[in-house]
Structure 1
Amino acid sequence: MLGIYDYTVVLTYVSLMVSIGGMMLSVNGHLNLAVLCLAISGLCDMFDGKIARTKKDRTEEEKCFGIQIDSLCDIVCFGVGPAIICYCIGMRGPIGMVILMFYVLAGLIRLAWFNVTEECRQKETDEKRACYQGLPITSMAIILPLVVVFRPLLGKEFMVALHAAVLVVGLLFITDFKLRKPKNATLVVLVVIVAAAVLKILHVCQ
């Protein structure tokens, strides 16, 4: 068969399938469950790279495949997925639709740029990146669940906050700045934050 199917890509594939499920849920009106799927997909993405790097004898072909499959899944999971969820939540006016189109395009540009620079970098060194260049697209798996969790507090301003969040995140995707990658302690904090958001969403779904 074409492709790679070992343990190094399992979480990436799981992340994609969960996100597709979330999109299906969103178009059927199950928005909280859709956001939950986005958060779970983000949790998978936090660890897929770490798992892939545990295989020390990866071939150049496997490394290149990992870069490409990760970015292809990311644009679906954290680009198209959140856009569909936000559209179903209510970003259906002309401004909202333009923002969503820009958001997906910005995510796509960012990932394409990452692929080009990462392939060049890996030819020179096996060390992992110390910093992100621009905001990583997977950040939406944290930001959108948090915005949804705070919906009761935002009240009538929720849609304004949602529009603003999507626009700002999209802009940060393609803004050239350095963002230090989280260390293990920070990663634990992020996992706790996402888990708290997931639990809150689960409570709402009951």
Structure 2
Amino acid sequence: MIGFYDYTVVLTYISLACSVIGMFCASEMNLRWAIFCLAVSGLCDMFDGKIARTKKNRTEDEKNFGIQIDSLCDVVCFGIFPIIICYKIGMNHMYSMVILVLYGLAGVIRLGYFNVMEAKRQNETDEARKYYQGLPITSMAIALPILFVFSPLFPSHELFLAALHVVVAAVGILFVTNFRLRKLSTKELFLLVGVVAAAVAVIVFVWRGWWMFLHSLK
């Protein structure tokens, strides 16, 4: 079979599988589990690069494949998947769909640029990147769960949807904004994972009213 199937890309494949399952959940308005799948995909993406770098004898083909497959999966997991979630929740007006389209375009542009620059960087050095150029596309797997865990506290559906529009637009703009963002240390990364995991646990197991709130937006 064509392709590479060693352990360095396993988390990337798991991330994609979780996102596809999440799309099924979102299409059935099972939004709690859709958000859960988004968070799991983000978790896999946070650590796939660290795992890939543990293999010291990767060939150039394996490195380039890793770059390409990671970005292709990211388009699905953190580009298309969040668009489907947001659309099902209520971003289904004309202006909402314009924001979602621009968000998707910004994600693709960012990942295309990353592929070019990362391939160039890896030809020059084997060191891990210390900075992101612009906001990483995985950020939506953090922003949406955190926003949604506070959704029952919004005084109205309209205000929650307004906040959702702002978050999606802001994150999309930051994808293609030229600024340097320091990569998290291992301790900071685990702390962030803990925060997102707590948010998802609240969404899935605690906020019974959260489900009713979002379901009423249909």
**Cross-structure match for 2:169:** 167
State the Cα distance separating 1:34 from its structure 2 match.
Answer: 0.4
Tell me the TM-score normalised to structure 1 length.
0.98
State the Cα distance separating 1:188 from its structure 2 match.
Answer: 1.2
CA RMSD, Structure 1 to Structure 2 (Å)? 1.0
AA of the residue aligned to 2:200 = V
Tell me the TM-score normalised to structure 2 length.
0.93
State the Cα distance separating 1:155 from its structure 2 match.
Answer: 3.1
AA of the residue aligned to 1:99 = I
CA distance in 2, matches of 1:163, 1:83: 11
Alignment of 1:65-76 (within 5 A): 65-76=65-76
Which segment drifts farther, 171-180 or 188-197? Answer: 188-197
CA distance in 2, matches of 1:79, 1:9: 19
Q: Secondary structure at the match of 2:57?
A: coil
State the Cα distance separating 1:189 from its structure 2 match.
Answer: 1.1
Unmatched runs of 5 consecutive residues or more in structure 2: 212-218
**Cross-structure match for 1:117:** 117
AA of the residue aligned to 2:166 = A
CA distance in 2, matches of 1:155, 1:42: 29
Identical positions, percent: 61
**Cross-structure match for 2:28:** 28
Alignment of 1:46-85 (within 5 A): 46-85=46-85
CA distance in 2, matches of 1:187, 1:175: 23
State the Cα distance separating 1:202 from its structure 2 match.
Answer: 1.6
State the Cα distance separating 1:180 from its structure 2 match.
Answer: 0.2
Task: Figure out how many residues of one structure are paired with residues of the other and give that number.
Answer: 206
Unmatched runs of 5 consecutive residues or more in structure 1: none
Question: Per-residue displacement from partner, 1:25-59 (whole Å, max 9, x unpaired)?
Answer: 10111011101100011011111111111000000
**Cross-structure match for 2:185:** 183
State the Cα distance separating 1:198 from its structure 2 match.
Answer: 1.4
CA distance in 2, matches of 1:97, 1:88: 11
CA distance in 2, matches of 1:50, 1:155: 42
Q: Secondary structure at the match of 2:58?
A: coil
Question: Per-residue displacement from partner, 1:112-168 (whole Å, max 9, x unpaired)?
Answer: 000000001111111111100000000000000111111011232100000000000
The answer to whether the aligner puts 1:143 opposite 2:143 as a matched pair is yes
**Cross-structure match for 2:155:** 155
AA of the residue aligned to 2:120 = C
AA of the residue aligned to 2:124 = E
CA distance in 2, matches of 1:55, 1:14: 19
